[in-house]
Structure 1
Amino acid sequence: MLKKSNSIYPIAKKKPQRLEMHGDVRIDNYFWMNERENKEVIDYLKAENNYCDEKMSHTKEFQESLFIEMKARIKEDDSSVPYKYNGYWYITKFEKGKDYPIYTRKKDSLDNPEELLFDCNEMAEGHNYFKIVGISISPDNKLVSYGIDLTGRRQYTIYIKNLVTREILKDSMESTTGSSSWANDNKTIFYTKKDQVTLRAHQIYKHKLGDNQDDLLFEEGDTTFGVTVYKTKSRRYIIIACYSTLTNEYHILDADKPEGKFQLFQERIRGVEYSISHYKDHFFVLTNKDNSTNFKLMKTSIHDTSIEKWEDVVSHRNDVLIENIDIFKDYLVISERSNGLNQIRIKRWDNHEDYYLPFDNETYTCYTTTNIEFDTDVLRYGYNSLTTPASIIEYNLKTKSKIVLKEQEVLGGKFKKENYISERIWAKAEDGAKIPISIVYKKGIKKNGKNPLLQYAYGSYGSTVDPYFSTIRLSLLDRGFIYAIAHVRGGEYLGRPWYEDGKLLNKKNSFSDFINCSIELIKQRFTSSKHLYAMGGSAGGLLIGAVINEAPELYNGVIAAVPFVDVITTMLDDSIPLTTGEYDEWGNPNDKLYYDYMKSYSPYDNVEAKKYPHMLVTSGLHDSQVQYWEPTKWVAKLRELKTDSNQLYLRTNMDAGHGGASGRFESLREDAEEFAFLLDLEGIRG
């Protein structure tokens, strides 16, 4: 498989494949790498892993010490803050020396005996990968449905467990999303099935306990849409949600009548996004209707849900993005974002109160957490910042008092938050837009241009990377690294327009924003190009690939994790998971306008014979989001064309998918390798 060469690194065989579209011809020498079962492909991946092992062998002890250091900061015998649902307190805990969670519950009071739901450590035995999702308790508290994935490809089999007898029922549903919802009869569940090839969630089924044949209730025929099914917080309705990047549609069913027919809430209108929440005789609708770019909140009667009957509750504002709502019996809680910062707004239904929870940090993250109970005066929310460990806070909406239920412990005795500094600066984009950058570093760092700095970004799907605390990151900060999050366009840090300006035919703004953030960090002497590093994963890996094609001289090294880098070929293949649902994010290259634009930035198509930074590229053989062959082909092409002698490593996890290793601590080994790569480039080996 490997071509013989005097080089010590693997060189993949070239098998030219002619790819033609819109009269444009591309020759892909490594197209053959998408043959997952081909022994040549597996041999190449193993050869790259062996090469990575060999070239980084001098860091193995350092990696192990980093792993031990990271693990030592984490409380092994830890447990979640209990939350109450339908008469039971639910708890997730970890035991010392074990990698997976244990799920338990206690009836009525936390003083009562603990009942084991799942010990995932036992369930994971004998498997290289294990993931449990979608734990759903029946209304009578006697049964639980749950999804299991043993490959990392996010294809789950749903099982049902009798919590009284402890037996696993014979009922099982394969190739699902893993989640399911119970009707109020305690014997009917609704679940979502995935297409076996594309992995698109496209069908909703109904399963009755003991039946061998499930009923297909809904099939989404538009390949740009996916579907899911869930139960409202009020427990009154089962909801089918159809979703695409730009459009939503919902169907509703009385949870007391599982044999009934789902009713259309409001048919899809392209460009109209909405989500629904039930409260008494109304549905509350969060929507961008009427050109409400940053969304507004509306309501409509449960008896007439057509769009003409929707009424404004909270109007649209140009400078405030409404992200989410939590509905309680007496209160409406609205999660907003203004000038990049999270806000939590409290509003009584009787309009006697309307106020915001106070936060005074320059850059922080706050969010509502598990608020399942409807008839309660208690709101739970989380808070953390780049320098402050995460806290779960319970706020009494009636008395306005709060208590900290849990603050993340940083073990080892060395961490003190006052020893770190966080700030937010702004870079200027080429079109005049101001790009926020959240920065954290250890006190005493001098802005002399000599500091190593890791710049991170994602910048797609409207997904915002908030300034969050990380115990793992301390291993970099304590060794002199500065860490910066570039809030580039494509995310929603500055509202929905910030996302719109970083997608489709505006996608290049994400890349130029990142570059301008790098330039600003160098200008303000946080670092220099000799000490600047860049990192991104998945769509953020695309960003890294595009950036180093455009401005490789700015960076000493980069990490591209499971990177989406072969944009055109992937977006032209509608048999690949996610492709059809991504057209509204990237464009459809079957249209020449989008084809040409994609080709102009696609990292794989724009690799050139020039110098590139040091690079570590990661991948997962079973990745369902970014297929393993994208980073693999990219590395092969870089090896062929790049003119430097800088390090280039490909690390493929042969047992996992997009999220990497499944164990709680096993994933730290991947972090340790990435950090060792960066620190080694700085000559820091301890």
Structure 2
Amino acid sequence: MSDLNPPVAARKPIERSHHGDVFVDDYEWLRDKSDAEVLDYLRAENTYTESRTAHLESLREAIFKEISERTLQTDLSVPARRGSYWYYSRTVEGRQYAISCRVKVDGDQPPATDGDIPGEEVLLDGNELAGDSEFFALGTVDVSPDGRLLAYSVDLTGDERFTLRIKDLATGELLADELPEVHYGSAWSADGSTIFYTKVDDAWRPYQVWRHTLGTDGDVLVMEETDERFWVGVDLTRNEKALQISLGSKLTSEVWLLDAAHPDGEPVVVAPRREGVEYDVEHAGDQLLIVHNADAPNFSLATAPLDAPGDWTTLLEGDTSSRLLGVDAFADHVILYRRRDALTELAIMRRAGDAGSFGSPEVLTFDEPIYTVSPGRNDEWHDTRYRFGYTSLVTPGSTYDVDLATGERRLLKQQPVLGGVDLSGYTQYREWATAADGTRVPISLVARKDVAKDGNAPVVLYGYGSYESSMDPWFSIPRLSLLDRGVVFAIAHIRGGGELGRHWYDNGKMLTKRNTFTDFVAAAEHLVEASWSRPERIVAQGGSAGGLLMGAVANLAPQAFGGVVAEVPFVDALTTILDPSLPLTVIEWEEWGNPLEDPEVYAYMKSYSPYENVTAQQYPRILAITSLNDTRVFYVEPAKWVAKLRATAAGDVDVLLKTEMEAGHGGRSGRYDAWREIAFTLAWELDTLKLATS
């Protein structure tokens, strides 16, 4: 261990006053990343973190080597058909980024993924586009319906603002068209003459849809959303009949359709927005399918005529046992994507004899007790097979096609795991914790089969619990480096997520947000009561809104954990949600409440916001990881939090801050850089669990 003293941030008090409450913020000055003093402080924190973790260098290298040797580095994805081509991506050993490719269709089945593919065309090489940049990300990779042109957008800083270019795939030349400052996604007109894209406002909210006709200047504004709660997006429907403009807040939706054959026409609204009504639209050729919550919290499925899109007729009524997440429509069938019993589900509805009618849902079943099944890439309107993904805590990510006529499944590819790993040596469990109010909270666990349930197992407990986002079980090669050293990895499926339906989300947001935190503590306590572990052998981990969770439980129950990893953590939540000029704030009011106008929301958020609630108590070890260019959770939040922990916490304060100076919300962009970042975190966790040997 290093004897280097931790950095001490200067105190520069600023008063914040709302609803008669005055809060003195000593570290808000750290928000200005153009200030040399701020950058010097962040660099000093990095130097301190490097020094304090220098003894883990050999372990980090060992883990990085394990990840590298277990990963098939020269590989390709399963080709997906669209029109006359199979599309896929390649990775090449030694290169950071993927290469997008395609090959002409020759036969009914996709080409094999275990070697070279004759006739391959390279669409984009991410390594060439990245050049010497420290960061690289693509915002869209979108081939025109006729396969002639490729629209792609690039971000080289991590601020999620992209420059869109058009490539002629016949010649390989770039067209003169260049569109700066665009957002994620794009959509082509049916004839490929026009590209639609979105732009963001100063608060990073995508609020405008623009139309660009190739070879012209003076793009046309198609739609602008003035309500600061709403985002906009644009896409081309699977059957290429309509451009779909989606507007949505956390609670309310509105969808407009534009004839893809007439891109200069006027969009038509499907149904005007109604406060609290969410709906998605799927173009089913002869009708529209509408997934909505107008009459059921867990969403119903309705049909609507193309010429009267607001006239909805119920096809499937919503129920309390399953949450309808979405539908995929094709010429001869519809696939339902649902959630039931804290697991995901796919079901087939075939076209019936009568025009516009469908048969009953036929559920795809699986043998494992815990798993995740999800829609794959399905671009072909007339396809007779459906592509889906499958994984579990012990089953690597797998891609299947199911023949819709026979029900036969074909495994196209399973993520290779090299290095002599025997996957039969691991097992998974589902257990249930009981929260203080009696609610049963599911926990998914994975461990080596020989790990004893003797109250001494080291555990990494992961959680998120916001935005109705579900942390469904997934397989991870890097996680094997924990499991092989005897660690149990557990996921707490806490309220605020969507694992058990809409009510699970509703009971973990706004003025019930504290349920998210107490559920996580209950999960940690269950692991002790069920003889898995003891508190000092449990490391909690979460990122973004899950980082808020980490900060909150560190304040609420520091005795329940031996360590906490908070990645890009939303730990200064109240300050952020009070400032409508900051990115995402107004949009977020429907998730957290509006503390600017509502004193009850202000008081409630202040009661749990991690930064305001740091006290003179003993905290577990804490590692906070952030990115200087993150536009979603600013680096200043963990920087302030760490500074306050150092100044306030009692006893030995073991808190580290690591700031990626060239990265965005998702961390480093290159896969090898990302593996090293993961290895850093895993080594710290193993050190905290007293397992830090290479």
TM range (shorter): over 0.9
Cα distance in 2 for partners of 1:146, 1:224 equals 28
The Cα of 1:355 is off from its aligned counterpart by: 1.5
Instruction: Tell me if 1:659 matches 2:666.
Output: yes
Q: CA deviation at 1:682?
A: 2.7
1:268-417 to structure 2, matched below 5 A, reads 268-290=273-295, 292-306=296-310, 309-350=311-352, 351=358, 354-413=361-420, 415-417=421-423
The 2-side partners of 1:293 and 1:472 are apart by 37
Measured after TM superposition, the shift of residue 140 of structure 1 is 2.1
1:102 equivalent among 99, 102, 111: 99
Candidates 3, 9, 13, aligned match of 1:12: 9
Verify the 8 A CA contact 2:143 2:149 in the aligned structure 1: yes
Give the structure 1 partner of residue 171 of structure 2.
Answer: 165
Spell out the pairing of 1:19-98 with structure 2 (5 A cutoff). 19-98=16-95
| Structure-2 change in CA distance of 1:226 and 1:353 (3 Å) | closer
What residue is the counterpart of 1:124 in the other structure? 130
Which of 535, 539, 564 is 1:533 aligned to? Answer: 539
Q: For residue 212 of structure 1, what is the amino acid of its counterpart?
A: D
Residue correspondence of structure 1 range 555-574 to structure 2 within 5 A: 555-574=561-580
1:170 aligns to what SS in structure 2?
Answer: strand
Instruction: Give deviations 1:163-218, integer Å, cap 9, x for gaps.
Output: 112111221112211321111232111110111x2111011111011222111111
User: Could you tell me how far apart the structure 2 residues matched to 1:515 and 1:354 are?
Assistant: 38
In the TM superposition, what is the alpha-carbon distance from 1:681 to its structure 2 partner?
A: 2.0
Residue correspondence of structure 1 range 135-534 to structure 2 within 5 A: 135-195=141-201, 197-290=202-295, 292-306=296-310, 309-350=311-352, 351=358, 354-413=361-420, 415-534=421-540
Distance 2:331 2:191 in 1: 24
Question: Any idea what the Cα deviations from partners look like across 1:579-631, whole Å, max 9, x if unmatched?
Answer: 11111100111111111110000000000011000010000000011011000
Task: Indicate conservation of the 8 Å contact 1:157/1:178, yes or no.
Answer: no
In structure 1, C-alpha distance between the alignment counterparts of 2:269 and 2:445, rounded to whole Å: 47
- The amino acid of 1:72's aligned partner reads E
Give the partner amino acid of 1:40.
E
- CA separation of 1:600/1:352 partners in 2, compared to 1, >3 Å: closer, same or farther? closer
8 A contact 1:158–1:178 mirrored in 2 = no
1:658, distance to aligned residue in structure 2 (A):
0.5
Letter of the 2:290 partner, please give it: V
Is the 2:60–2:683 contact (alpha carbons within 8 Å) kept by the matching residues of 1? yes
**8 Å contact 1:238–1:252 — kept in the other structure?**
yes
Deviates more, 1:37-46 or 1:338-347: 338-347
Paired residues of 2:539 and 2:689 also in contact (CA < 8 A): no
Instruction: Report the aligned-residue RMSD.
Output: 1.2
In the other structure, the counterpart of 1:682 is: 689
Secondary structure of the structure 1 residue equivalent to 2:140: strand
Separation in 2, partners of 1:60, 1:394: 43
* Per-residue deviation, residues 331-354 of structure 1 (Å, max 9, x unmatched): 111111111111111111204563
Question: Could you tell me whether the CA contact under 8 Å between 1:132 and 1:147 is conserved in 2?
Answer: yes
Deviations 1:369-418 (CA, angstroms, capped at 9, x unpaired): 001111011011111111111110111010111111001110101x2222
- Counterparts of 2:98 and 2:376 in 1: how far apart (Å)? 19
Paired residues in the alignment total: 676
Q: Distance in 2 between matches of 1:354 and 1:554?
A: 45
User: Which amino acid is the alignment partner of residue 16 of structure 1?
Assistant: P
- 1:439-488 CA distance string (max 9 Å, x none): 11101111111111000000000000001111110000000100110000
Task: Point out the more displaced range, 511-520 or 256-265.
Answer: 256-265
Q: Aligned partner of 1:673: which letter? A: F
Q: Residue 559 of structure 1 aligns to a residue in which SS?
A: strand
Q: Measured at CA, do residues 648 and 304 of structure 1 come closer, stay the same or move farther in structure 2, by a change above 3 Å?
A: same
| Distance in 2 between residues matched to 1:461 and 1:531, nearest whole Å | 29
- Equivalent-residue separation in structure 1 for 2:225 and 2:79 (angstroms): 37
Question: Which amino acid is 1:345 matched to?
Answer: A
Deviations for 1:663-682, whole angstroms, at most 9, x for unmatched residues? 01210111111111111123
What one-letter code is carried by the residue in structure 1 that aligns with 2:306?
Answer: I
Three-state SS of the structure 2 residue aligned to 1:342 is strand
List alignment gaps of at least 5 residues for structure 2. 112-116, 353-357
| Structure 2 length-normalised TM | 0.96
CA apart distance, 1:112:
5.0
Q: Give 1:68's aligned amino acid.
A: K
Partner of 1:66: helix, strand, or coil? helix
Pick from 534, 551, 555 the counterpart of residue 557 of structure 2: 551
The equivalent of 2:355 in structure 1 is none
Task: Give the SS at the match of 1:394.
Answer: strand
Shift of 1:644: 2.4
Compute the displacement of 1:646 (Å): 4.1
Q: Partner of 1:530: helix, strand, or coil? A: helix
The answer as to whether partners of 2:646 and 2:653 remain within 8 angstroms in 1 is no
Segment of structure 1 superposing worse, 349-358 or 676-685: 349-358
1:572, distance to aligned residue in structure 2 (A): 1.1
Find the residue that maps to 2:75 and give its secondary structure.
Answer: coil
Letter in 2 for 1:377: T
The match for 2:114 is: none
Instruction: Assess, with a 3 A threshold, how the Cα gap between structure 1 residues 682 and 669 changes in structure 2: closer, same or farther.
Output: same
The CA distance in 2 between the partners of 1:126 and 1:389, in whole Å, is 33
String of CA shifts for 1:471-519, please: whole Å, max 9, x gaps.
1100000001001100000001011110000000010000000000111
Question: Contact between 2:30 and 2:636, CA under 8 Å: does it hold in 1?
Answer: yes
The amino acid of 2:70's aligned partner reads R
Aligned to 2:619: 612
Deviates more, 1:103-112 or 1:385-394: 103-112
The one-letter code sitting in structure 2 at the alignment partner of 1:260 is G
Q: Distance in 2 between matches of 1:371 and 1:140?
A: 17
Aligned partner of residue 179 in structure 1, secondary structure: coil
Secondary structure, counterpart of 2:184 in structure 1: strand
Q: Counterpart of 1:303 in structure 2: which amino acid?
A: D
The letter of the residue matching 1:203 is: Q
**Match of 1:3?**
none
Amino acid corresponding to residue 308 of structure 2 in structure 1: D
Instruction: After superposition, give the CA deviation of every residue in 1:143-170 in whole Å (9 maximum; x if it has no partner).
Output: 1111111111111111111111211122
In 2: Cα distance, 1:41 partner to 1:475 partner? 36
Find the aligned partners of 1:36 and 1:285 in 2 and give their Cα distance.
Answer: 45
In structure 2, what residue type is equivalent to 1:265?
Answer: V
1:7 CA drift (Å): 7.5
